[in-house]
Amino acid sequence: MQAAPVRATAALPIPSVTGALRAVESLLMRNGQRTARRNAWTAVLEDRRRAEDRRAAQHVLEAAATRSTSAT
């Protein structure tokens, strides 16, 4: 009697660092805590975007003020 042939299977992909961290996070945190943490991070990113927009607007206003003063 012969043994059944063994099929070669593809190795499982190595998880990314992000995927590994999310897996650990899901083990350690409840869903509500995880949602709160992600919401907080989204707020941080939005604050950074607004700060960058304020800096760009300030630069434009200063450049316009300098041009109008030079033209007069």
Which residue in the block uniquely carries the two structure tokens 């941080």? 44
pLDDT tens digits, 2-56: 666 666 565 666 778 888 888 887 787 777 888 898 999 999 999 999 999 999 9
The answer to whether the pTM exceeds 0.75 is no
Helix (H), strand (E), coil (C) string for the chain: CCCCCCCCCCCCCCCCHHHHHHHHHHHHCCHHHHHHHHHHHHHHHHHHHHHHHHHHHHHHHHHHHHHHHHHC
